[in-house]
Amino acid sequence: MKPTDLKCYGLLVELTGEDRDWLVELLDVETLAEGQTLFCEGEEADSLYLVESGSLRISSEADGSIGLLCAGASLGTVSVIIVGKRQASAIAESDCKLLVLTRGSFRRLADDAPRAACRLVEAIASELATSLRANLDYIRAGHSNEPAIIK
C-alpha cells in the first residue's frame, strides 16, 4: 500500500504535488512492533525514514536518550545522499509504520525526475542549515561545553 499524501512531513512540505507524486512511487513501507530496533548506532546509513504512525525513541551511547519522533517526523535524511554511519539508534516506542526511501531509490528519482530530486536535496539542506543555526545559537548562549540536541 502506497501513501497518497506526503504534505504532512515537514521535510516535504515545500515540494510540489508533482514532486511528491514522483517520490511516493519510490517509497517502501516498513512496520515495526513496539520495542523493535529500526537501526543501531554505527550501522551503515542508507535510507531516509518518514514516520507515518507510532513513535521512535532516538538514543546514542554518548548522549543517552535524545528524543522521541512521532508521526510527521523524518530521520536519516542525509543518508540518501551521503555515505556514512548512523550516529544514533532508533527503537520503536510503540507500533510504527514508516515510509522508506533508500539511497538506490533516491538515485532512481534523480534519473527519472531530476527536478524532484533537486528539490528534495534542497529540503534536506534547509533542514541541516536550521539544525546548524540552532546549534550555533545554543553555543552563543553560553552552552559551549555541551552540543545542542535538535529534536
Quote the cell numbers at residue 93. 516506542
Name residue 97's amino acid. Answer: K
Supply the Cα-derived Rg of the chain in whole angstroms. 16
Confidence class for position 143, pLDDT limits 50, 70, 90 = low
Please, what is the end-to-end C-alpha distance for the chain in angstroms? 29
State pLDDT tens for residues 121-133.
999 999 888 878 8
> How far is the C-alpha of 80 from the C-alpha of 104, rounded, in Å?
8
> How far is the C-alpha of 142 from the C-alpha of 52, rounded, in Å?
37
Name residue 7's amino acid. Answer: K
State pLDDT tens for residues 2-36.
555 788 898 998 899 999 999 999 999 999 999 99
The SS3 assignment for 31 reads: strand
CA nearest to 59, candidates 41, 44, 45: 41
- pLDDT for 3 equals 53
Quote the cell numbers at residue 90. 532508533
- In CATH, the number for domain 10-102+109-140 is 2.60.120.10
- pLDDT for 66 equals 86
- pLDDT for 149 equals 46
**pTM for the predicted model, two decimal places:** 0.85
The SS3 assignment for 47 reads: strand
In angstroms, how far is CA 109 from the centroid of its own chain? Answer: 17
The residue extents of the domains of the chain are: 10-102+109-140
Confidence class for position 151, pLDDT limits 50, 70, 90 = very low
